[in-house]
Amino acid sequence: MNVLSVELQAIEHRAYPIYIDQKVLVNQHLWEKIMRSFSAGKQVAIITNPKIAELYLGDLENALANYNVLPILISEGEEHKKLSTMEKVYTDLSEAGFNRSSTLIALGGGVIGDLTGFIAATWMRGVNYIQVPTTLLAQVDSSVGGKTGVNIPQGKNMIGCFYHPRAVMIDLSTLSSLPNREFKAGLSEVIKYGLIYDVDFFEWLVKNIDGLLAQDAQLLAYAVEHSCVIKAEVVAKDEKESGLRAILNLGHTFGHAIETAMGYGEWLHGEAISAGMVYAAKLSQELGWINQAQVDRITELFKRVGLPTSGPKNLTYIEYRDLMFKDKKLRDKGLPLVLLKAIGNAVVSYDYEQSQVKKVLTEVT
């Protein structure tokens, strides 16, 4: 038998910048610099939704005055993050004669970012794209890390790939137009970074949470930057989610159960994982890893933001169990949950008993 070996080169670009500031979106000089950094062709598509377009599309088009800009509007909402939306965008790109040197820009929240990233990954086997996240959640979470994808009827984010943007442009001034409830939900992910990775950042948040809620520009810049630093560090260590990256899912298994039970959109993602992180903290306490005072400190911080610290009143343990431990196998073998060894130190663990999960979920708080 003949055996050959196909050797692969390293991936082409090994790093990408995240720019964080007020008004980066309108910084024409910076845009020129970024576009030149990867020899972008003249054709640029801005993928966004009608609401965001009304607020920022004109500004962004002005900043890209030296390019031929094609705006592509996607209806707002998670339900449009699907394959048929991609087909529509592919058609638009084809008809406008886009080629491999064309660039896509995602202007919006997580739905726009995930969808645009996946389109960029697959259009002509990959073109360059830039993330311009306009929600706090997208700024600190989905725009960094290279996860792209869409939903299918069988599940969220089931289809997608890992594909990194050429740059992320975080314009903090876009947060002023974000509904307050969405801003608070975004803070939930910010707090998560302190809990999983950095006790000092957690303490900083405890101290500065009122200023953050008032959207103090300097505090906000620090919180967003530090969140991105942690996410980038975790992602760099484990790009394809084989180990460490899983800690980014603190509170998410509980949270997804709440989101699914209530129907997506009823609870915001950040709200559901806020309750989920409190449950994870309580389960960690059951295991003797953290104490009551630490659980209270965590719970208190979420309360000060105005985030929920327990799930919907009418959701029973059995419902949680069936949603979290979907098939029988998972119940036998155990489901990996992200838990806290300490504030600032999360681990993936199977070391809990089902009875402890039950206790935490049914406790009256």
Contact with a copy of itself (CB under 8 A) among 1, 214, 293, 364: 1
Please pick, among 182, 203, 233, 241, the residue that the annotation labels catalytic.
241
Residue 125: active-site member: yes
Considering the complex, state which of residue 167 and residue 343 has its C-beta at the smaller distance from a copy of itself: 167
Considering the complex, state which of residue 136 and residue 228 has its C-beta at the smaller distance from a copy of itself: 228
Helix (H) or strand (E) holding 160: strand 155-162
Options 119-127, 133-141, 260-268, 279-287: segment touching a copy of itself (CB under 8 A) = 119-127
Q: How far apart are CA 309 and CA 340, in angstroms?
A: 16
**326, two tokens:** 């979907």
Please pick, among 49, 128, 147, 151, the residue that the annotation labels catalytic.
147
Q: Could you tell me the smallest distance in angstroms from the CB atom of residue 245 to a copy of itself? A: 11
Cα-atom radius of gyration of the chain, to the nearest Å?
A: 21
**133, two tokens:** 């996240």
CA dist 304 to 215, 255, 258, 275, 331, Å? 15, 19, 21, 13, 35
Q: What's the first-to-final CA gap in the chain, in angstroms? A: 67
SS3 assignment, position 45: strand
Report 122-151 residues binding a copy of itself (CB under 8 A). 122-126, 144, 146-147, 149
Residue 166: active-site member: no
Please pick, among 81, 164, 166, 269, the residue that the annotation labels catalytic.
269
Residue 269: active-site member: yes
HSE-up (13 A, CA, CB side) for residue 94: 7
Residue 358: active-site member: no
Count of residues in contact with a copy of itself, rule CB under 8 A: 65
HSE-up (13 A, CA, CB side) for residue 290: 24
Q: How far apart are CA 90 and CA 94, in angstroms?
A: 6
Which residues share a beta bridge with 318? none
Considering the complex, state which of residue 87 and residue 351 has its C-beta at the smaller distance from a copy of itself: 87
Q: How far apart are CA 51 and CA 338, in angstroms?
A: 36
> Is 160 an interacting residue with respect to a copy of itself (CB under 8 A)?
yes
Report 14-73 residues binding a copy of itself (CB under 8 A). 14-21, 24
Q: Is the dihedral of CA 246, 249, 254, 257 positive or negative?
A: negative
> Is 330 an interacting residue with respect to a copy of itself (CB under 8 A)?
no
Please pick, among 14, 125, 240, 313, the residue that the annotation labels catalytic.
125
SS3 assignment, position 31: helix
Options 206-214, 226-234, 250-258, 279-287: segment touching a copy of itself (CB under 8 A) = 226-234
> Is 332 an interacting residue with respect to a copy of itself (CB under 8 A)?
no
Which among 28, 70, 24 is positioned nearest to 48, based on CA atoms?
A: 70
Report 73-102 residues binding a copy of itself (CB under 8 A). 83, 86-87, 90-91, 94-95, 97
Residues that bind a copy of itself (CB under 8 A): 1-21, 24, 83, 86-87, 90-91, 94-95, 97, 121-126, 144, 146-147, 149, 152-155, 157-164, 168, 221, 225, 228-229, 232, 235-237, 239-240, 242, 327
Q: Which residues are catalytic?
A: 125, 147, 189, 231, 241, 245, 249, 252, 256, 269
